[in-house]
Amino acid sequence: MEYKYALYEKKGGIATITLNRPEKLNVLNMMGTKEGVFTDMLSAMTEAEDDDEVKVIVIKGAGKHFCAGEDLSQAGFVYGFGTGKTGERRPSERVRLKYDKKFMQDWCRILYCPKITIGQGHGYCLGAGTMILHFCDFAIVTDDAELGFIEERIGTVGSANPFVPSLILTVGFKRARDLIYTGRRFSGKEAAEMNLVTKSVPAKLLNREVTELAEDLAKLPRDGIGIGKATMELWLNIMGMHTASISAAYFSHTLFTNLRWEPDEYSFFKERRNQGLKDALHGMQDRYTKHPPKYYGKKK
């Protein structure tokens, strides 16, 4: 099957899904929108899951970057966010809950995929890009890749996301709060050191490392993979992962969309409406980068 924003290739029990909107840095479309990179990635995953010959799924990005996050030009509008004009009604809670639940379920498809998944990261692996790598069974990135939960700087601060419980299990409670609360960027090498990814390698070795890993994993029996992945899902659910990653996350996300910004705080949605997306994004990041950092990145 052909997709508009993804490439799909199958070879020797390995399916490779390539996010393919490089001119937009492979950003993902938001839940509730009809087409985009995220929609096509999930559709390609369905194709791989339904193909009995496929044992391993590799997810990578076309162009200079893996994925630079979500398309924030769409954020909020799926609920019916307006223009701020007098007389407009706020989106209902029921509409927000409906979309947010579907959003979390879609993200957890990567975590609960019945096939073995490998994320291959290079360049920008930011926001949603970091989330994809985190949810894959394996993640191999370049040493100089840029990761970070940068979309937390909109104001979610650890709410509104399905990855928080699994991140705590992966890197520990202290480190998880560090990454979430600061929204800071970090290299592929640092990501490997904190076990957020499986391994980081020089850029010239990335394709070879992923290919060799995928070929080794494809030697496993199909039933063994199916039973192993189903059992892994059961273990995660026994630990409360389903409740935390879907039920709590979508409820939390709906609460976030009702956030009230005070006069001294930065409202991305207000600035996007008044200044446009580009200036709003720059303004949000300027709060963290315009002045010398007081903690991370300061000179020793």
The per-residue pLDDT for range 177-188, each reduced to its tens digit, is 999 998 899 999
Which pLDDT value is given to residue 19?
A: 98
In this structure, the answer to whether residues 254 and 268 fall within a common structural domain is no
Worst-scoring range by mean pLDDT, 45-59, 80-94, 171-185, 249-263?
A: 80-94
- Asked whether the predicted pLDDT for residue 154 surpasses 90, the reply is no
Could you give the percent of the chain with pLDDT greater than 70? 94
Domains in the chain: how many in total?
A: 2
Which pLDDT value is given to residue 291?
A: 58
Domain of 73, CATH number, reads: 3.90.226.10
Name the more confident of 158 and 14: 14
Of 244, 259, 274, which residue is a domain's last? 259
Which pLDDT value is given to residue 24?
A: 95
The β-bridge relationship of strands 186-187 and 146-148 is antiparallel
pTM above 0.85, yes or no: yes
Q: Does some domain include residue 159?
A: yes
What is the rounded average pLDDT of the residues 229-233? 95
For the chain, where are the alpha helices, taking DSSP H only? 37-50, 93-111, 128-135, 164-171, 173-182, 188-193, 206-217, 222-238, 241-242, 248-256, 268-275, 277-289
Q: Does some domain include residue 1?
A: no
Name the more confident of 159 and 148: 148
In this structure, the answer to whether residues 287 and 138 fall within a common structural domain is no
Which pLDDT value is given to residue 300?
A: 47
Name the more confident of 90 and 39: 39
In terms of residue numbers, what domain contains 288? 264-300
In this structure, the answer to whether residues 177 and 268 fall within a common structural domain is no
In this structure, the answer to whether residues 159 and 252 fall within a common structural domain is yes
Measured at the CA of 45, the angle between CA 41 and CA 47, to 5 degrees, comes to 120
What is d(CA 292, CA 290) in angstroms, rounded to the nearest whole number? 7
In this structure, the answer to whether residues 221 and 287 fall within a common structural domain is no
What is d(CA 215, CA 203) in angstroms, rounded to the nearest whole number? 20
Q: Does some domain include residue 16?
A: yes
In this structure, the answer to whether residues 285 and 253 fall within a common structural domain is no
In this structure, the answer to whether residues 152 and 276 fall within a common structural domain is no
